Amino acid sequence: MIKTERAKIAQKILNKIYPKTPIPLNHKNTYELLIAVLLSAQCTDERVNKVTPKLFQLANTPEKMAKISEKKIYSIIKPCGLGPKKSKAIKNLSVLLVKKHNGEVPANLLALEELPGVGHKTASVVMSQGYGYPTFPVDTHIHRLAQRWGLTSGINVKKTEDDLKSLYHKKYWNKLHLQIIFYGREYCQARSCFGLSCKICKACYPKRKKPIKTKKA
């Protein structure tokens, strides 16, 4: 079975299980989405959704957040982990949005990547879920699954992103990003499937007998 065939199989199964893909991070505007995605690094969406209501009640715009101390921000977001680093990034990016972007979250990937604490993956998620721009954000989970399903060599997350983009038309990228994340959490977890037991793994590699070792991001 060639790679394009495996890609079609995976997409067919994903579409059947997840015909709709709601955005997992609760937000009311693009700024809130940006902050929520930043907080989700090495943290579950569930925990982020428990923390953000209190944070956004305090400040839900760059102008308001820029006036809040890092110490106060940290006291709220501490449960998300990496608190000192994230609170500093939230404070600094808010100040920069006010000074450089008139308090607006830029609808530009490169401009987003220039913000403190915002990497390529975070910027891609904001462009996708905030502005509907076709991107294919790849985190460690998607990186792992794409390897298990034989859709990438897994050299690094950049290569995985490029491989997935080449396999699927851009009109599917945003939906597939979320579908793969949902599927990985429910059926193809890091410490359970190992490329052997979930429906997609078995469909893509019906003769696979040994657990697959995936390369880390």
Residues tagged active-site? 121, 139
Percent composition of the chain: helix, strand, coil (DSSP 3-state, to 5): 60, 0, 40
CB within 8 Å of 124: residues ≥ 6 apart: 109, 135, 136, 137
* The pair of three-digit structure tokens given for residue 87, joined into one six-digit string: 């609170």
HSE, CB side, 13 Å, CA atoms: give it for residue 46. Answer: 2
Relative orientation angle of helices 3-17 and 157-167, to the nearest 10 degrees: 80
Residue indicated by tokens 């597939």: 176
CB-CB contact of 32 with 193 (8 Å): no
